[in-house]
């Protein structure tokens, strides 16, 4: 799938908003659920930040380097998308 920067930025904004909601939900949960949500949110934020870092790499590279980074972005993107969907279904 070919990603445009605008599409990625919009999706990342939406995902970070979902993570914010999950953090709020965690604050209202019991200790065990809170710990679970906090860990999941922290892991997902890390993945999303990795996507942002890779996107910066794509912007700065050209040719085959950019293609390699693009493939990495797509992989991380798919993982983040599955994780966000999974956690929002559980909440």
**Using one digit for the tens of pLDDT, what is the confidence trace for 33-78?**
788 878 888 888 888 888 778 777 766 766 666 677 677 777 877 8
**Using one digit for the tens of pLDDT, what is the confidence trace for 20-35?**
888 887 788 788 878 8
Cα–Cα dist 56/16, whole Å: 18
Residue 34: CA count within 13 A, CB half-sphere: 6
pTM score, two decimals?
A: 0.59
């Amino acid at each position: 799938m070919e990603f445009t920067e605008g599409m990625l930025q919009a999706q990342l904004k939406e995902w970070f908003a979902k993570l914010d909601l999950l953090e709020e939900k965690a604050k209202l949960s019991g200790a065990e659920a809170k710990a679970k949500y906090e860990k999941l949110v922290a892991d997902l934020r890390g993945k999303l930040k990795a996507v942002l870092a890779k996107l910066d790499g794509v912007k700065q590279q050209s040719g085959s380097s950019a293609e390699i980074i693009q493939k990495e972005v797509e992989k991380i993107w798919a993982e983040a998308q599955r994780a966000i969907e999974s956690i929002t279904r559980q909440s």
